[in-house]
Amino acid sequence: MALDEAKARELLEAVLKKLWDALQAPVLGSRLKTSLLSEARKNGSEFDERALGYDSFAAFVARSGVAAVKFRSGTDVLVAPIAHATAVETAVAGTANRVRPDFWTAFIRLPIPGRVRAYDRTEDHVWEGSPDAIGNRVPIDPIPLDKHLHLRRQFAEAEGHDWTPAGDVKPTMAFRDFTQWLTNNPHLRAKWNRFWFNQVAQEIHTWASTNGIPNDKWLAGAEDDLRRRLYEALDEIPLEKLLKLRVPLGWFLASSKR
């Protein structure tokens, strides 16, 4: 049975909340739609935004009243629960495992006395050396120890735990304590990894925006054009067949060029 608009919105709200609780970050529209279709089928119903009068899934979500949507040129939309609307404006979605290693390391390694880190626009790489030799490179302020510890405490508290480093706050001991805490709570490891990545990516994104550095400089090769073609092709697949798709992604992307 096809969902009417009220039921579709209720299901959207429930599915989006579930994804948000798991990711603690905005979700891509394509992933949200797939989850929504799957959940509808489990309940013995069907969802079709066109049958509800919308020309796209993004349009339905944007007008649902339960979600915040960020439209991005040439790629998928970002969606968050309406209560977390600000997250879609500051999120750097689709960046998981794609931050350039030199930028990632520069931001998460603790500061070293007598040395500074900076981005060299001309050479397009992260530099580290004496403060006197920084020249016109863009300074990078790595995440300080107190913020490292604050984020770990924040995560633990959000999960209903009380983590504080044992003894005096030496970096190696504090990080070792937190690693041991995760070892004792293995079900939280993946969630922590997502939380930590999002925090660091946002630090880099804020720094890059402030200094006029495009995202494609600190991201490791996004393929937005390929994604755009994939989304366009997926929109042409009948809804009843979408979840049955069993085509290797590499072949599918190549085919979408033709």
Whose tokens are 């931001």? That residue is 107
pLDDT digits (tens, 9 = 90+) for 68-95: 888 765 567 788 888 887 777 655 544 4
The tokens for 126 are 């992260």
User: What is the distance between the alpha carbons of residues 189 and 156, in angstroms, rounded to a whole number?
Assistant: 11
Is residue 166 pLDDT above 70, yes or no?
Answer: no
C-alpha distance from residue 99 to each of 12, 114, 221 (Å): 31, 26, 9
Query: To the nearest whole number, what is the mean pLDDT of the chain?
Result: 79
Closest CA to 94 of 192, 18, 23: 23
The tokens for 43 are 């309940």
Is residue 252 pLDDT above 50, yes or no?
Answer: no
pLDDT score, position 193: 81
Q: With contact defined as beta carbons under 8 Å apart, do 193 and 179 qualify?
A: no
The tokens for 139 are 């300074």
pLDDT digits (tens, 9 = 90+) for 190-232: 888 878 887 888 888 889 889 999 887 887 654 444 454 555 5
User: What is the distance between the alpha carbons of residues 80 and 114, in angstroms, rounded to a whole number?
Assistant: 42
Pairing state between β 116-120 and 138-140: antiparallel
User: What is the distance between the alpha carbons of residues 160 and 190, in angstroms, rounded to a whole number?
Assistant: 16
Backbone angle region of 53, left / alpha / beta, with phi > 0 → left and psi within -120 to 50 → alpha: left
State the virtual CA torsion across 149, 194, 91, 122 in degrees, nearest 10: 80
pLDDT digits (tens, 9 = 90+) for 15-56: 999 888 877 778 888 888 988 998 888 888 888 888 888 888
Backbone angle region of 176, left / alpha / beta, with phi > 0 → left and psi within -120 to 50 → alpha: alpha
Q: With contact defined as beta carbons under 8 Å apart, do 11 and 47 qualify?
A: yes
Q: With contact defined as beta carbons under 8 Å apart, do 215 and 205 qualify?
A: yes
Cα 200 to chain center, whole Å?
11
Domain assignments of the chain as residue spans, ordered by start: 5-94+222-256, 96-220
The tokens for 174 are 């504090």
pLDDT score, position 25: 77
The residue ranges of DSSP E strands in 85-220, in sequence order, are: 116-120, 125-129, 138-140
Residue 142 has what DSSP assignment? P
